[in-house]
Amino acid sequence: MSDELRLRAATVTDAASLALEHEPVPRDQVVAGTPATGHAVLDESDGGTVGVWEMTPGAMRDTEADEVFVVLFGAATVEFEHPIADPVILAPGSVMRLEAGMRTLWTVRQTLRKVYVAP
C-alpha cells in the first residue's frame, strides 16, 4: 500500500476525489453495458480494511464479502439473487451492510463511489 493512501491519525483523505485506476469487469460478471471498477485500500489493520470502490455505468453480478459502506456519489440499484430480498436503491449518503456470500446484481446509472469497511 502506498504511503500517500494510508490513513494516518489526525489526517484527512479526500475519498471523493481520489484517483482510481479502473479495470473492465470480467465478461462472465457483466450483465449490461461495459462497466469498469476501481478501488484503493486506504488502511489495513487487525481491525479490518478501509477502502474506496467505484463502478462506472452498467450492470454486473457479484458475490459479496462482509462489509459496511457509505455511498459518496452516484446512483445504483442492488438486487439480491441470494438470499432473496427487496432491491435497494443507492444514492449519496446511503449506508449499507453486505454479508459474505450474498449474490447480487449491481445496476449503476451514474458512476457510484463508496467508502467501505471490511473485517
The tens-digit pLDDT sequence of the chain (119 residues) is 454 556 778 888 899 999 999 999 999 999 999 999 999 999 988 889 999 999 999 999 999 999 999 999 999 999 999 999 999 999 999 999 999 999 999 999 999 999 999 99
Q: Mention every residue, 6+ apart, whose C-beta is less than 8 A from residue 19.
A: none
- What is the distance between the terminal CA atoms of the chain, rounded to a whole angstrom? 17
Domains of the chain: 22-118 (2.60.120.10)
pTM: 0.91
Percent helix, strand, coil in the chain (nearest 5)? 0, 60, 40
Scanning the chain, the segments in alpha helix (DSSP H) are none
Residue 118 and residue 16: Cα distance in Å, rounded? 19
Quote the cell numbers at residue 46. Answer: 487487525
pLDDT, residue 5, reads 58
